[in-house]
Every structure is written in C-alpha cells, then in structure tokens.
C-alpha cells in the first residue's frame, strides 16, 4: 500500500512538470511577436519594448523556461496585466463564487444521478428505464448555456421568481446566496446528472449480472438486501471515478454558466482575460487548474486502491 | 486464424470481424433502435447543411433593416434577427459550420489518438513519455484547455478546430492504447512477430484495425461534444466570429434580445440539441453492437 502510494506520487511528478511546460508554451503559440500582440496594435515601439522586458521575452527560450520554473518553485504564478494583481490573489477573490457554484451543482448531481441511474438499471428494458435514459440523453445533448438563457427568461424575466444575474456572498446573506446560485447550479447539473445516470446504469448492470448477485438471490436474501447492500455497495466504487469527472466538468462548465448569469467567478475571469489579451493571467489560471486536477486525479487513483482491494497497479 | 484468436482471447477487447461476422454486426446495427433514430437525425441535419443554398436561396448575411425582428411566419419560418436576416437561412448555414467543425475534430482527434495510442502500446520506451503528456493534457478541463489554445492564435474557425482536437486527443489515445495492449498479446500478433513481421506492419496490419471499434464509438461521442464545445466557445466570443454564422454565435447574438425575439436564439439551440442527440444515439448504438462487453441488459 505504501509502495503503491509512493509510486503514484512519483508518477504525478512528471505530469506536473509537463503541465507547467504546456502552460508556458501557451505564450509561444501566439503568432508573430507576443509582445506586439499583448501590447496591442496601436502600441508605440517603446511600449512594446517595455512589455517585452517585463515579461522577459527578450531572453533566449530556454532561459525563459528556466525563469518560469524558478518562479513556480517560489510559488509565483505571474500577474495579470489588466488587473494589476497577482494571478493567485485574483483567483482567490473569485474562488468562493466558483466553489459555491461547482459544489452546489455536484451536491445536486450525485444523489439524483446515482438514484435514477440505479433505477434505470434495476428496471432495465421497462418504460422506467426508457424514460430515465431518454431524459439523461437529453441532459448530455442540450447545450447548457442555451437552456440556461432560456431558464433565465422563464424563471427570472417572466415569472420573477429568481434573480437573473449577480452573486451575493454567503457571509452577507445565506438566503440570497442560495437564490443567486440555485438556477445556475441546476443548469450546470443538467449535463452532469445525465452523464452520471448513464454511467451509473452501466456500472449497476455490470454488477447485477455478476455471480454473487445470483448467489445472494438464490440463497433467499430479500431483494432489498441483494440490491441495496450487495450491488449498490459494489457500484459505489463508481462514485470515486465519477467525482473526478464531475469536478472537472463542473469547473469547466462553470466557465460558460458564470458568463450567462454574470457570476464573478474564476471562469468569468478567464474569459475576460482572453478577450483582454491578458495572457499571463490566462496562463496562470490554466496552470493552477492543471495542478489542482493532477492532485484530484491522484486522489481518485489512491482512493480506488483503498476502496477496491482488487485494483492493484503493477 | 483470426477467428481462433478471437475465441480464446481475453475478453476480446475489439473483436476481429471476419467477413460474415462483420455482416452480422452491420445487421445488428441496422436493427438497433437508437442507432436508427440517431442515424436519421444526423442524416437529416447533414442533408440540410449540405443543401442549405438550395433549400433557402437567400444570402445568410443579406440584411433588410425594414424586416427586423419579424416573428416566425409563413415567409420567415424561423423569423428574422436584429439585422432583418432570415434566421432559418442562418441556422442552415450555421449547421454547415458547426457540423463541419464537429466532424473534423472527431476525425483529427481520432487519427492522432490512434497513432499515439498504438505507438505507446508498441514501443514501451515511448509509452511513459507519451502517456504522461496525455495525462497532463487531461489535467485541464476540456473547455478550459480549448479556451486557452484559441486565445493564442485569436478567434478563428481553425483555432477552434485545433483547440478541440488537442483537448480530445488524450482520451482517444488512452482508449486505443488500452485495447492495443490487449491485442498485441494475442496469439496471432505473436505469430506475426515470430514470422518476422516488422513493427510497422504489426502496428498497421494487426494492432490498429483491431483497436478501431472502441475508437469509432469514442469518435462519435467526440463529434457530439465538439458541437457542444464549439457552440460554447463561439458563445463566449472566442469561437467562430460573425458574420460567419455558427450555431453558437447566432445564440450569442440572439441572447441580447432574447425576451423580445426569442426565436433568434431558440432555433440554433434546437439544432445543437438535435445534432448532439443524434450523435449520442448513434454512439450508443455503435457501442452496444461493437463493444459487447458494455452491452446493456
């Protein structure tokens, strides 16, 4: 177990290094002279030179990469050009919004997705299954931002039940906080519920066809014990896998949902950064997200080995 | 020979389809209901996109300011937008752009993924490096990675294609590698190796063809995801730029006056949903038939 953990940790090291290099390379993808692109078309030669020097673009490529790693080792993730702020503090300010949104959406998704997915598997090839899987299919097919705009029109503009945009911090007013997030979180969950239900169904079908389920049934255990305890427990392993994917899609999807509902989160920050050609900001956010996901994937891998003794990596 | 290997192989990751079996698979596919529905949906949309100029006969960017915001009627089935352009025409032309991007991304990322996956499985020394790079790429949420990549060369159709391809290659590479690792241990590949076949021949003739079915299933889903992702990118303003219509940017334009002229953003969204639905159904059907391990119920 300890050896395995160590091995997994060691495997994550090159991934972190490659993530850093990839984020660094983003800047070199810029066509032509990055300094000109960042400074803008109308910038004076002096201004361009200034940008070039500030970003260290006047140095050789390998030296730039070296400096990049040196800064990372010191915990410096760069500074935003448009905000006059370090990337970390800009992200820190917006983190609560994105975390609340993603957290709420996952809290909605997990119970519903697993419940309906299991129901579909249990009642396979009946109308229950068809209905649930049909709805789940719609969930993964309908574009989230489009249904989100439609939902704003219905629930905020026409019915006036919920605010159409904006964010109220949890510390300020818990009720308004929930009101400002409930619609965005549900919209973000639609895809995820569909995804999780489909995943749960096939995992449960897999388990339900196993020999030990037949054994449990034939030795006279109640249906509840068979399915509830034996099957469900085994399918729960899936929650661990699902969590990794759900966190990833929730944070990815929040980029678009924050834009629709004008929520001041990290996703909106990235989009603003891209439209304002604030590449150091985009680079920094990508890098930090990359690190976070390397950590999440590592956690998923390790949890696997704890939860399922059959999983052994050689 | 191949039949034999198939029957004894461990769970036969991707069955080698001898001619008769291939025919059987095709027959089962044609009889599969979600495959039928999916195929119909995708065909109808593809035909509508291909024959867009014939169907409408209107220039998608022709503006008639006097005809602004006309609701759906007999003359304008889907209404008109803020410039008095025919929404039906724009949705049809948008289908060309959106479906094309989805198709190109699915094919490109499938081909690159297949190459990387087979190389990783065949040359164990390359494996660690290639797969760690894939892990690194997969550490970014796909839409964020695509956003970052489109940011650099600026918003254009080509950058959207490149960005989404890069975002979806790793998953394809993993799938192909996984099945290639199973296939390369099968007796007939070992036999080919002993008979002196070169690495290249083994990869192209034996391993690749037998790793194709899971990839094909995956590519169908990537097609659907790419249409959704392109729409999201264009909606955020970093995808296909107006005046070229894409389903995403028509929605973005229509959003500003969604309450007064709901029809502008309603129809392209329906287009995206139907396309993604059709492709997901196709993918489900392909998976059930080609990948028997996942055969449900």
| d(C-alpha A21, C-alpha A72), whole Å | 11
Q: Is A7 on the interface with B (CB under 8 A)?
A: no
Distance from CA of A192 to the nearest CA of B (A): 13
A218 touches chain B (CB under 8 A): no
Sign of CA dihedral B63, B64, B69, B70: negative
Q: Which residues of A touch B294 (CB under 8 A)?
A: 202
Rounded Cα–Cα distance for residues A205 and A117 (Å) = 10
Interface contact A153-B276, CB threshold 8 A:
no
Which residues 44-83 of chain B have a CB within 8 Å of chain A? none
CB contact under 8 A, B144 and A142: no
A85 forms bridges with which residues in the sheet?
A80
Phi, psi of A263 (to 5 degrees): -90, 130
Q: Are B58 and B39 in contact (CB under 8 A)?
A: no
Contact B136 A255 (CB under 8 A): no
d(C-alpha A169, C-alpha A244), whole Å: 26
Cβ of residue B145 closer than 8 Å to a chain A Cβ: yes
- What is the interface size between A and B, counted as CB pairs within 8 Å? 151
Which H or E run includes A80? strand A79-80
Q: Cβ separation of B276 and A143 shorter than 8 Å?
A: yes
pTM value? 0.86
Task: Enter the tokens of residue B18.
Answer: 């001898």
Residue B199 CB partners (closer than 8 Å, separation 6+)? B122, B123
Least Cα distance to B214 among B251, B181, B188 occurs for B181
Q: Is B130 on the interface with A (CB under 8 A)?
A: no
Angle, CA B213 vertex, CA B207 and CA B216 arms, to 5°: 120
User: What would the two tokens of residue A274 be?
Assistant: 């891209």
Give the three-state DSSP class for B77: coil
pLDDT of A194 reads 94
What are the phi and psi torsion angles at A81 (to 5°)?
-80, -40
- What pLDDT is attached to residue B295? 44
Residue of A nearest to B276 (CA): A141
- B40 close to A (CB below 8 A): no
Contact A252 B251 (CB under 8 A): no
Is residue A269 within 8 Å of residue A91, measured between CB atoms?
Answer: yes
Helices B33-50 and B262-290: crossing angle in degrees, nearest 10, is 130
* Cβ B273 vs Cβ B96: under 8 Å: no
Contact B280 A271 (CB under 8 A): no
pLDDT digits (tens, 9 = 90+) for B92-124: 888 888 999 999 999 999 999 999 998 988 888
CA distances from A7 to A10, A176, A313, B29 (A): 5, 46, 9, 43
Q: Are B214 and B14 in contact (CB under 8 A)?
A: yes
What is the rounded CA–CA span in Å between residue B114 and residue A59?
Answer: 38
The DSSP bridge partners found for residue A86 are: A79
What pLDDT does A2 receive? 74
Instruction: Give the pLDDT of chain B (297 residues) as one tens digit per residue.
Output: 333 333 333 344 445 555 566 677 778 888 888 888 999 999 999 988 888 777 777 777 777 767 676 677 776 677 777 776 777 888 888 888 899 999 999 999 999 999 999 898 888 888 888 988 898 888 888 888 888 888 777 677 888 898 899 999 999 999 898 888 888 888 888 888 888 888 888 888 888 887 888 899 899 999 999 999 999 998 888 888 888 888 988 898 888 887 777 788 888 999 999 999 999 999 988 888 886 554 443
The nearest CA of chain A is from the CA of B238 a distance in Å of 8
**Phi, psi torsion values for A85, nearest 5 degrees:** -150, 150
Which residues in chain A are contacts of B228 at CB distance < 8 A? Answer: 141, 143
DSSP structure string for A248-259:
HHHHHHHHHHHH
Q: Give the Cα separation of A133 and B97 in Å (integer).
A: 30
Nearest residue of A to residue B249, measured between CA atoms: A146
In angstroms, the separation between the Cα of residue A171 and the nearest Cα of chain B is: 29
* Residue A140 near chain B (CB below 8 Å): yes
Q: Name the minimum distance, in Å, from the CA of A284 to any CA of chain B.
A: 11
Nearest CB among A141, A252, A275 relative to B224 is that of A141
Asked if the C-beta of A22 comes within 8 angstroms of chain B's C-beta atoms, the answer is yes
Q: Give mean pLDDT in consecutive 10-residue pieces for chain A, a chain of 314 residues.
A: 79 86 77 69 77 74 80 79 83 90 93 91 89 92 91 83 77 82 92 92 83 82 77 75 86 90 90 83 87 88 74 52
B152/A26 CB distance under 8 A:
yes
Q: Are B153 and A26 in contact (CB under 8 A)?
A: no
| Residues A297, B139: C-beta atoms closer than 8 Å | yes
Closest-CA residue of chain B to A287: B140
Chain B, 200 to 229: residues with Cβ < 8 Å from chain A are 224, 228
Measure CB to CB from residue A29 to each of B128, B152, B259 and give the nearest one.
B152
| Residue A299 to residue B19: CA distance in whole angstroms | 45
Residue A260, CA distances (Å) to A149, A168, A170, A187, B197 in order: 7, 16, 20, 10, 57
Nearest Cα of chain A lies from the Cα of B132 at a distance, in angstroms, of: 6
Residue B1, min C-alpha distance to chain A (Å): 31
Q: Cβ contacts (< 8 Å) between B133 and chain A: which residues? A: 18
């Amino acid at each position: 177990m300890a050896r395995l953990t160590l091995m997994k940790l060691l495997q994550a090291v090159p991934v972190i290094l490659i993530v850093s290099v990839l984020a660094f390379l983003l800047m070199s993808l810029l066509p032509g002279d990055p300094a000109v692109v960042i400074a803008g078309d109308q910038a004076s030669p002096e201004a361009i030179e200034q940008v070039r020097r500030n970003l260290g673009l006047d140095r050789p490529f390998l030296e730039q990469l070296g400096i990049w790693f040196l800064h990372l080792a010191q915990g410096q993730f760069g500074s935003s050009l448009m905000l006059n702020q370090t990337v970390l503090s800009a992200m820190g300010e917006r983190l609560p919004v994105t975390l609340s949104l993603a957290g709420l959406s996952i809290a909605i998704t997990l119970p519903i997705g697993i419940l309906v997915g299991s129901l579909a598997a249990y009642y396979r090839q009946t109308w229950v299954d068809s209905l649930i899987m049909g709805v789940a299919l719609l969930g993964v097919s309908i574009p989230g931002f489009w249904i989100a705009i439609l939902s704003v029109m219905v629930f905020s503009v026409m019915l006036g039940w919920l605010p159409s945009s904006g964010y109220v911090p949890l510390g300020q007013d818990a009720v308004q906080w929930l009101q400002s997030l409930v619609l965005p979180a549900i919209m973000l969950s639609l895809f995820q519920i569909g995804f999780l239900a489909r995943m749960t169904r096939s995992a449960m079908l897999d388990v339900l066809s196993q020999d030990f389920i037949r054994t449990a049934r034939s030795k006279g255990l109640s249906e509840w014990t068979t399915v509830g305890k034996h099957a469900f427990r085994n399918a729960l392993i899936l929650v661990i896998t699902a969590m990794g994917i759900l966190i990833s899609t929730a944070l990815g999807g929040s980029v678009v949902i924050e834009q629709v509902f004008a929520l001041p989160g990290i996703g909106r920050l990235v989009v603003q950064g891209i439209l304002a050609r604030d590449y150091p900001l985009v680079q920094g956010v990508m890098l930090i997200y990359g690190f976070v996901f390397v950590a999440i994937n590592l956690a998923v891998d390790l949890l696997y080995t704890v939860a399922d003794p059959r999983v052994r990596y050689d | 020979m191949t039949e034999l290997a198939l029957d004894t192989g461990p769970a036969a990751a991707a069955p080698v389809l001898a001619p008769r079996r291939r025919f059987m698979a095709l027959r089962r596919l044609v009889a599969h209901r979600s495959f039928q529905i999916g195929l119909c949906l995708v065909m109808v949309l593809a035909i509508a996109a291909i024959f867009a100029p014939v169907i409408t006969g209107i220039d998608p960017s022709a503006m008639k300011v006097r005809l602004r915001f006309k609701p759906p009627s007999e003359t304008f089935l889907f209404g008109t937008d803020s410039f008095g352009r025919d929404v039906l025409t724009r949705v049809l032309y948008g289908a060309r752009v959106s479906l094309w991007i989805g198709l190109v991304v699915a094919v490109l990322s499938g081909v690159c993924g297949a190459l990387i996956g087979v190389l990783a499985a065949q040359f164990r020394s390359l494996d660690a490096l290639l797969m760690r790079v894939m892990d690194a790429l997969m550490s970014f949420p796909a839409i964020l990675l695509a956003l970052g990549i489109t940011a650099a060369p600026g918003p254009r159709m080509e950058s959207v294609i490149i960005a989404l391809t890069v975002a979806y290659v790793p998953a394809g590479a993993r799938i192909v590698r996984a099945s290639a690792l199973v296939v390369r241990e099968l007796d007939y590949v070992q036999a080919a190796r002993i008979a002196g076949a070169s690495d290249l021949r083994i990869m192209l003739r034996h391993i690749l063809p037998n790793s194709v079915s899971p990839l094909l299933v995956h590519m169908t889903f990537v097609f659907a995801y790419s249409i959704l992702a392109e729409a999201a990118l264009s909606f955020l303003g970093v995808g296909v730029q107006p005046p070229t219509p894409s389903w995403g940017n028509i929605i973005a334009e229509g959003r500003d006056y969604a309450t007064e002229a709901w029809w502008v953003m309603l129809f392209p969204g329906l287009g995206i949903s139907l396309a993604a639905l059709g492709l997901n159904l196709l993918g489900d059907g392909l998976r059930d038939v080609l990948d028997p391990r996942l055969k449900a119920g």
